[in-house]
Amino acid sequence: MGLEKGRVLLAYWGPAQSSGPKNMNDWWAMWDKVIQKYGENPNAYFEIFNEPHMYTKDELRDLYASWLERYPNVPRDHIILNGSGMAQNVPDIASDSRFDGCLFAVHEYTFWNMGITTEEGWKNALKAKVGPYADRTICTEWGGAMSPGTKDGVYYDYMDYNQLPTNYFMAYIRGIPEQLREWKMGSFYWPGLRDGDWYSMTKRVGEGANIKLEIVNQSGFERMKRSWTDTVEVKPVKQEPFGGIKDGVEIAGDPAFIPGKIEAEDYDLGGEGVAYHDNDPENQGGEYRHGGVDITTDNEGNYVVGWTEEGEWLKYTINVQESGDYYVQARVSSGLENSSFQLSIEDKAISEKIVIPKGSSWDNYQIIDFNTSPINEGQQVLTLKITGSFVNIDWLKFSTESSTTIFDITNSFSTTSQKYILFNYQGKRVAEFTMNNHSEIKVYLKQNNIKSGVFILRDKTGKSTQVIKHYQ
Ligand SMILES: [Ca+2]
Ligand SMILES: [Ca+2]
Ligand SMILES: [Ca+2]
């Protein structure tokens, strides 16, 4: 047994039923035997009752006191007393002077409280359970989701615990080891291996004499190690281009080429505050990605970013092939007035605030277009910032075609003579005129001394709308 090899043994008793051990005489008989054999072994430690939730605080204190009285030769610093309840209230026991010199055990799980969604919140939860007794307490159980699984009807895919938390599991797996580390507290990840348990840290592979254990979730393993070792290298949260999803895990890839198309939902890896900012940690649409960005599908099944709110932003690592200003088309929808976004590179705006003309609904996607100011060649980070809430964005397409070809490319207007209204970006009506074809608009703008800028052109019915850029 492990003791001869100099390892620690934790003798342990779990309750046989909710009211406690079926027969207390058996319980004492077990301990008599164990203590007789190992009581004075310097490598043996005794956790005498697991999760004693069936006892009141006073009953439990008396039970522990009887144990200490019965085995006076067991060194006190080898006796581990579980906190009351599910080993969750250490001060209930530790504050009793009869247990001076003993060690205590705390258990901390995510199971009960889905309301804690920050690392700090979990650190505080653990602090509250331990009170001022951290120097004599061991965390004999903690553990969280490592494989995909479902809790309270919500499905959780593999989680990357090296990213900033976007749900309570992530906050837990990051927060608990930090607190254990801060205290230098001994701890056990539970369960190490339990078949069919989505909290299990390892899984069994191979057969017969070749059975091996494999780590289920490397990032969870790294976080666990963080609780007890100085040697683990914790990856800083890194912003990288998104490359796709492999075996349920988001993996890094190559930057998006410009000219080229950027899918809005393919924002960079790196998490909240690094690769994106979203106002709430859930993916409201529940599609495609694991982060807080809200992704849904359009009628054709294309992924789109939705539930956008003013102040939210998304980042994309891009590789620009050629310096210059670019012509951008964007597939977007909005059911409201005043939805807008703006593009920037390294904090410098490269577009106006692009107002999305109100469509009949969010299912009614349209392609709008605009021009950027000059973009330098090379790898850099593009930011798409929501400047007016509730635009849905499918993709952005950057090309080098000049703005003068706008009309030919996205012409959705009737070719017959009709009335048009021109709005500026503040939504103010600038002009109203009749055109027979689109080339006439440039002539009209020049003749009427409309100064340079970006405008929205809408036909009288309001059905067709287009963003145009006009140079004097
Ligand atoms: Ca969200
Ligand atoms: Ca959002
Ligand atoms: Ca898309």
**Nearest residue to 325 (alpha-carbon basis) of 458, 441, 454, 466:** 454
pLDDT for position 130: 98
The CA–CA distances, whole Å, from 343 to 313, 346, 371 equal 10, 10, 11
Q: How far is the CA of 126 from the centre of ligand 1 (A)?
A: 28
Q: How far is the CA of 60 from the centre of ligand 3 (A)?
A: 59
DSSP 3-state helix, strand, coil percentages of the chain (rounded to 5)?
25, 30, 45
Query: Hey, which CATH number is domain 242-401, 2.40.30.30, 2.60.120.260, 3.40.960.10, 3.40.80.10?
Result: 2.60.120.260
Q: How far is the CA of 271 from the centre of ligand 1 (A)?
A: 12
pLDDT for position 281: 76
The pLDDT tens digits of the residues spanning 37-67 come to 999 888 899 999 988 988 999 999 999 999 9
Residues 107 and 140: beta-carbon distance below 8 Å: yes
Q: How far is the CA of 284 from the centre of ligand 3 (A)?
A: 16
Q: How far is the CA of 375 from the centre of ligand 1 (A)?
A: 30
Token digits of residue 421: 């209204």
Give 405-458 as a DSSP string. GHHHHH--S-SS-EEEEEE-TTS-EEEEEEESSTHHHHHHHHHTTPPSEEEEEE
Identity at 434, one-letter amino acid code: T
CA–CA separation, 311 and 316 (whole Å): 17
Given CATH 3.30.2350.10, say whether it is the number of domain 2-226: no
The pLDDT tens digits of the residues spanning 332-349 come to 999 888 999 999 998 899
- Around 452, how many Cα atoms within 13 Å sit in the side-chain half-sphere? 5
- Around 398, how many Cα atoms within 13 Å sit in the side-chain half-sphere? 25
- Listed by start position, the domains of the chain span 2-226, 242-401, 406-470
pLDDT for position 251: 87
Q: Could you give the angle at the alpha carbon of 117 between the alpha carbons of 111 and 122, nearest 5°?
A: 70
pLDDT for position 372: 94
Low-confidence ranges of the chain (pLDDT < 50): 1, 402-410
Q: How far is the CA of 311 from the centre of ligand 1 (A)?
A: 13
Phi-psi region of 273 (alpha: psi -120 to 50; beta: other; left: phi over 0): left
**Nearest residue to 17 (alpha-carbon basis) of 9, 27, 8:** 27
CA–CA separation, 293 and 314 (whole Å): 8
